[in-house]
Amino acid sequence: MTDNPTAQHRAPRPLARARSLPPWTVIAAGVLAGGVLGGAYGALKTPSYTATAYVVAVPADKADPAAALGFAQAYGRVATQVAVLGDAQVWAGVPAATLRSAVTTATSPDAPMVAVSATSSRPDLAADMANAVARALTRHAADSSDATNVELQQFARAVKPVEPSSASPALTGLVGASAGGLLGGMVLLVRPRRAPRAAEPAASLPAPAVAADTRGAL
């Protein structure tokens, strides 16, 4: 009687491994999160307004016209000093410390003009602060006109702004999305890379059973 081969059991299949997400999803998630956060920041932040007044340096009859340009540069630097802000705070109705943080000046290398800008959450206050500092700077220059032969005159008053100067929610959202995408790209660069997996050995199959030789059996 021949021996029947025993039933062969198949090797169990390995469990299906969860497929990892593609790398671009990290960047996409960063762009989405940054855009949402940036847009929310722009929408919730109190808008600010900026008003600008202009004064021009005018030389006296006996003064060199080129000197007006140099004095305009100098007056632009002293516009936010205590001597000027001490007078401006009376007309603006705010402390000198508020003026110092809210007022900036700019000068041109080609024209003897000083731009006095003020920023505030209230558009009317922004115009008042700019005009107050420009007025105080003009009076300060008038007190020294005998020595400098240059005086400051008002060129244009600051008007109440109608649109905020701060960034809109769309712009802050765009900046946030860009920053989020950049951060996502950096995460991909610094993350540890996985070592390549070794090839799994092929499952060995059992050798076929050899039938017993019964030719010589009686």
Structure tokens given for 200: 């799994």
**Residue whose structure tokens are 């802050």:** 172
Pinpoint the alpha helices (H) of the chain.
Answer: 24-44, 65-78, 82-92, 96-102, 123-143, 145-148, 169-190
Residue 90 maps to a domain: yes
Please indicate, yes or no, whether residues 73 and 107 belong to a single structural domain of this protein.
Answer: yes
The CATH code of the domain that includes 78 is: 3.30.70.1130
Give the β-pairing of 113-120 and 150-156: unpaired
- The number of domains in the chain is 2
For 54, residues 6+ apart whose C-beta sits below 8 A from its C-beta are: 113, 114, 115, 116, 134, 154, 155, 156
How many angstroms separate the CA atoms of 190 and 192, rounded? 6
How many angstroms separate the CA atoms of 57 and 136, rounded? 14
Residue 174 maps to a domain: yes
Report the pLDDT averaged over residues 139-154. Answer: 85
Cβ(130)–Cβ(105) below 8 Å: no
Cβ(178)–Cβ(34) below 8 Å: yes
Residue 211 maps to a domain: no
pLDDT-based confidence at residue 105 (cuts at 50, 70, 90): very high
* pLDDT, greater one: 36 or 139: 139
Q: Of the candidates 147, 134, 173, which has an alpha carbon nearest to the alpha carbon of residue 51? A: 134
pLDDT-based confidence at residue 38 (cuts at 50, 70, 90): confident
Could you tell me what percent of the chain has a pLDDT over 70? 72
- To the question of pTM greater than 0.95 for the whole model, the response is no
Checking if the pLDDT of 58 tops 50, the result is yes
pLDDT number for residue 54: 95
pLDDT number for residue 110: 86
pLDDT tens, position by position, 123-133: 999 999 999 99
pLDDT-based confidence at residue 205 (cuts at 50, 70, 90): low
Range of the domain at 133: 49-156
Checking if the pLDDT of 164 tops 90, the result is no
